[in-house]
Amino acid sequence: MTRYSAFNLLREGLRGHTGWGKAWRSPAPKSSYDAVIVGAGGHGLATAYYLAKNHGLTNVAVLEKGWLGGGNTGRNTTVIRSNYFYPESAALYDLSVRLYENLSRELNYNVMFSQRGMVVTAHSEPDMEMAARQVNAMRLNGVDAEFLDRDQVRKLAPLLNYRADMRFPIHGGVLQPRAGTGRHDAVAWGYARAADALGVDIIQNCEVQDFIFEAGRCVGVHTSKGDIRAAVVGATVAGHSSVIAKMAGCGDLPITSYALQAFVSEPLKPVLDTVVLCPPFGTYVSQSDKGGLVIGGGLDRIPSYGQRGNLPVQETVLAGLVEMMPALASVKLLRHWAGIVDVTPDSSPIIGPSGVEGLYLNCGWGTGGFKAIPAGGYLFAHILATGTHHEISRPFDRNRFVTGHLIDEGAASGIAH
């Protein structure tokens, strides 16, 4: 395989490949189900699994116009954490971390969850004050957190740039020891296999083209494989939630879609055994079990459905990595890609009723979708099965944009959601 430097990668515009889900054998759809879930990504598959396991609903279909896990689930940077400020967010994401901790045993499938910790660096005295505030908030919310000085950060991540004349010198940081990484395709396949074993139908190459309504209620979907009726319909289509909402007559969602870029390097011997985020550079990095560095950055500034991103953001992310860790300047990059993420005004998800009876939404996760897969599926399954919110999902109802009870983690935590 040809190896590309960072500059060759930017010039060639290579993308990653996420075709591992194509091997799934899809059954023929039945004419009706107790529940239909649109989107066979992590959240859709997890929802189907928890509907069957927790609520006894096995007559469930998960519909995917491509192949399972071929969207954002296969295009993320695998970080799992719950270092949030607000109690509502902490409850949601720490539920997900707790579910991840037992997920390999529960699914009998190794999702390769590695709790190597995550360090968010601080680069000034005001940053250190905000870091202390973050640690206090996390601990009050029952989430593990440690306040680190410069020497403690250096012990955890010696490869970082600790020069005094660095543009943003490192003063310290925040550590969440229980954070870490997981294997994105393993999470999707684990949930798919477990849901399938419980009787769920996972149907690929089945595009939802419209919704079926009777007396104002959604009672099914028109698909490329025929009409499928359902007692309840749930949509988990990250990146295209607005399209589905307009198709169903839900009106405009408070969502904008952006490209979120990432990179993987050539395999290296172990150089980094934690996840590191340096906010001034907008760059974060971890090392996978295969040895590749997994590198991510912030959202593209221009709304887009293009799964390759834009050059200015690519250059910013890679320049940030080189300044964070100069020793990596000559490392070759193997591939680059972008996922399409739905971002709400308060950078928090929408979970709950769509406004159309019989149709429910799980969307707007922004950059937080992969880490929230177990919790998102667990909570969305509760809503579809009972018609009511779980206590943890209630604050994330779409109605908060009417009442003004926003959960603005993008501002409160100082990091992307």
Pair (53, 163) in one structural domain: no
Pair (119, 238) in one structural domain: no
Domain presence at residue 216: yes
Pair (173, 189) in one structural domain: no
Give mean pLDDT, residues 68-92: 93
Pair (26, 170) in one structural domain: no
Pair (355, 321) in one structural domain: no
Pair (174, 271) in one structural domain: yes
Q: Is the dihedral of CA 389, 391, 396, 401 positive or negative?
A: positive
Give this prediction's pTM: 0.93
Pair (274, 165) in one structural domain: yes
What is the per-residue pLDDT for 29?
92
Pair (250, 261) in one structural domain: no
The number of folded domains in the chain is 2
Domain presence at residue 83: no
- Residue 41: pLDDT band (50, 70, 90) is very high
Q: End of a domain among 295, 319, 342? A: 342
Domain presence at residue 1: no
**232-241 pLDDT, tens digit each:** 999 999 888 9
Domain presence at residue 91: no
| pLDDT of residue 47 exceeding 80 | yes
Which residue segment(s) compose the domain that 56 sits in? 19-77+185-254+345-412
Domain presence at residue 95: no
Q: End of a domain among 325, 342, 359? A: 342
> Is the model more confident about 22 or about 7?
22
| pLDDT of residue 288 exceeding 80 | yes
Pair (337, 204) in one structural domain: no
**360-404 pLDDT, tens digit each:** 999 999 989 999 999 999 999 999 999 999 999 999 999 999 999
Pair (190, 245) in one structural domain: yes
| pLDDT of residue 12 exceeding 60 | no
Pair (286, 169) in one structural domain: yes
Pair (276, 338) in one structural domain: yes
